């Protein structure tokens, strides 16, 4: 690897650590030419999974799109960036574990909703209202009813 400072292609690894739940290796390197240190990251090459939209169009599975959707749903909610990243990582793991080449957008939405439901109920409803295309108040009530029943049962105990 070439040094970003002096462009010499001769270095040694000083420290190596696993990060992002083992999906990334962080390496501290020291250039044998100028003796400066720099950090590199080694990641697994992305698996080329496509998301099949309702109209049949295939798009690449992008965790950035998942992250953006979660951030919008969690806007002004007591959810940290670390919690969102953990959900994104869980969704990514689920998709890579269970799908080889393609995933329907509906299936991906279900995975996102299941993970979001455990994070924040309001964010869950926000995301579900867009994902499931709620058209009126009845759709909201149908989605809220199981949550209300679950809360009542918890309070009754």
CA atoms within a 13 Å half-sphere pointing along the CA-CB vector of 22: 2
Backbone φ and ψ for 41, nearest 5 degrees, come out as -125, 135
CB 112 within 8 Å of CB 70: yes
Say whether 19 sits in a helix, a strand or coil: strand
When pLDDT is cut at 50, 70 and 90, the band that residue 90 belongs to is very high
Q: Measure the CA–CA gap between 135 and 146, rounded to whole angstroms.
A: 19
- CA triplet 94, 120, 21: central angle to 5 degrees? 40
pLDDT of residue 46: 64
pLDDT of residue 88: 93
Residues 6+ apart with CB under 8 A from 122: 77
pLDDT of residue 43: 79
pLDDT tens across 102-149, in order? 999 989 998 998 898 889 888 988 888 877 777 777 877 887 777 777
| Other Cβ atoms closer than 10 A to 137 | 8
Q: Measure the CA–CA gap between 84 and 71, rounded to whole angstroms.
A: 7
CB 15 within 8 Å of CB 38: no
pLDDT of residue 47: 67
Residues 6+ apart with CB under 8 A from 132: 139, 143
Residue listed under structure tokens 């957008």: 105
What is the per-residue DSSP string for 12-27? Answer: EEEEEEEETTTTEEEE
pLDDT tens across 20-75, in order? 677 789 999 999 999 999 999 987 776 689 999 989 999 999 999 999 999 999 99
Q: Measure the CA–CA gap between 73 and 87, rounded to whole angstroms.
A: 13
């Amino acid at each position: 690897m070439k040094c970003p400072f002096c462009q010499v292609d001769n270095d040694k690894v000083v420290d190596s650590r696993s990060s992002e739940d083992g999906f990334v290796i962080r390496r501290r390197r020291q250039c044998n030419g100028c003796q400066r240190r720099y950090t590199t990251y080694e990641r697994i090459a992305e698996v080329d999974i496509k998301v099949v939209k309702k109209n049949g169009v295939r798009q690449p599975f992008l965790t950035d799109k998942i992250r953006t959707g979660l951030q919008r749903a969690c806007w002004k909610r007591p959810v940290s960036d670390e919690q969102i990243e953990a959900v994104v990582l869980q969704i990514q793991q689920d998709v890579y574990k269970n799908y080889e080449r393609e995933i329907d957008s509906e299936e991906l939405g279900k995975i996102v909703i299941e993970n979001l439901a455990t994070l924040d109920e309001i964010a869950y409803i926000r995301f579900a209202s867009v994902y499931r295309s709620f058209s009126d108040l009845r759709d909201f009530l149908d989605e809220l009813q199981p949550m209300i029943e679950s809360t009542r049962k918890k309070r009754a105990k």
